[in-house]
Amino acid sequence: MHYDAIIIGGSFAGLSAATQLARARRKVLVVDAGEPRNRFAEHAHGFLAQDGEAPGAILDRARRQLAAYPTARMVNGRAAKTEKAAPGFEVAVGGGEKFVASRLIIATGITDELPDIPGLAERWGKTVVHCPYCHGYEIAGGALGVLGTASISVHQALVVADWGKVTLFCDGSFRPDTDEAEQLRQRGVAVEAVPLTGLEDGEAGAISARLADGRKKQMRGLFVAPRSRMAGPTAGQLGCVMTDGMLGPLIKVDDMQQTSVTGCYAAGDAAQAWQSIPFAVSSGAFAGVAAHQSLMFG
């Protein structure tokens, strides 16, 4: 079957895009490996009318709703190879099955590269988090930490200060400059120069940060801004132009979510610096509408 659009990535952005195309009665295929970026989080917050829901439960509901549209199909697998092919794009999935479509939407998201600190990965998405708007309310009201790795960590600490008493832990390779130090002082952020070497369980659900000099500091949560990379090879295979994001490469898109490759669109964390469920759903819906209108008028 020739599809109007293939969407690579079936998380919040991809399903949102697919829903718009299915509602336009277009044949749409979603290829998804089942590894959403926020699979480590038990609850999603800040998403209208679904605050506190489990991310997986929201996605399951979205898949069922999409499946009700007769022109929509979902395939479980990884997009191993994607290339331009008349009249659009050809996508080879895992075991070798190939699909063709006139339009392509990349919604693969990104993969976080967590700092190599003992105890950090096990707490990722729970008491070690990246977004105060997603998780800050639940751990607010006490001591909080921000892991300092670059200047973006200073900005993060300045923002997180609205949720609690913040300590910026520098890792030995980064120190705030004079202006940054003054901004932190004005926001009441303490700077800890001794590197953080590990995380342990603290009291009453808190965590304990172990420092290189043997001291321990207890806090309700630690915010981290990890480096990231593309979660799949599609953008590279097609030669999409990339742009430097604050924490890693992003797919460059125009005002209609189209990449540098004609007929190829991108949405979600792979294509925007602001990364959360509401932003992913919004950009996915827009990419779906833009792809549909390009089929009409392109």
CB 44, CB 53: distance < 8 Å? yes
CA of residue 175 relative to chain centroid, distance: 27
The SS3 of residue 250 is: strand
| Residue where one domain finishes, among candidates 223, 245, 276 | 223
Same domain for 211 and 169: yes
Region 127-131: mean pLDDT is 93
**For residues 214 and 49, what is the distance between their CA atoms, to the nearest angstrom?**
45
pLDDT at residue 158, rounded to an integer = 97
Same domain for 198 and 147: yes
Same domain for 184 and 133: yes
CB 146, CB 184: distance < 8 Å? no
Provide the domain limits for residue 141: 115-223
Kindly indicate the confidence band of residue 298, based on its pLDDT and cuts at 50, 70 and 90: low
pLDDT digits (tens, 9 = 90+) for 217-255: 999 999 999 999 999 999 999 999 999 988 899 999 999
Work out how many domains the chain is built from and give that number: 2
User: Six-digit token pair at 62?
Assistant: 């979205």
pLDDT at residue 122, rounded to an integer = 94
Whole-model pTM: value is 0.93
Same domain for 126 and 48: no
Region 290-297: mean pLDDT is 94
Please name the residues in contact with 12: beta carbons below 8 A apart, sequence gap of 6 or more. 36, 58, 59, 62, 268, 277, 280, 281, 284
**For residues 29 and 234, what is the distance between their CA atoms, to the nearest angstrom?**
16
pLDDT at residue 95, rounded to an integer = 76
Angle, CA 205 vertex, CA 201 and CA 209 arms, to 5°: 40
| Residue where one domain finishes, among candidates 199, 223, 247 | 223
How many other CB atoms sit within 10 Å of the CB of residue 108? 33
Same domain for 35 and 166: no
The SS3 of residue 253 is: coil
**For residues 74 and 31, what is the distance between their CA atoms, to the nearest angstrom?**
6
Same domain for 100 and 17: yes
How confident is the prediction for the chain on average, in pLDDT? Answer: 94
| Residue (of 141, 154, 214, 221) closest to 190 by Cα position | 154
pLDDT digits (tens, 9 = 90+) for 10-45: 999 999 999 999 999 999 999 999 988 888 888 899
CATH number for 257:
3.50.50.60
CB 19, CB 116: distance < 8 Å? no
Same domain for 161 and 90: no
Same domain for 16 and 91: yes
Please name the residues in contact with 86: beta carbons below 8 A apart, sequence gap of 6 or more. none
- pLDDT at residue 86 tops 70: yes
**For residues 146 and 13, what is the distance between their CA atoms, to the nearest angstrom?**
28
pLDDT at residue 229, rounded to an integer = 93
- pLDDT at residue 205 tops 90: no
Please name the residues in contact with 225: beta carbons below 8 A apart, sequence gap of 6 or more. 130, 147, 149, 150, 152, 153, 156, 246, 247
CB 52, CB 96: distance < 8 Å? no
Same domain for 103 and 250: yes
Torsion from C-alpha of 119, 122, 123, 128, nearest 10 degrees: 70
User: Six-digit token pair at 106?
Assistant: 């990349």
Same domain for 208 and 122: yes
| Residue where one domain finishes, among candidates 192, 223, 254 | 223
**For residues 113 and 211, what is the distance between their CA atoms, to the nearest angstrom?**
22
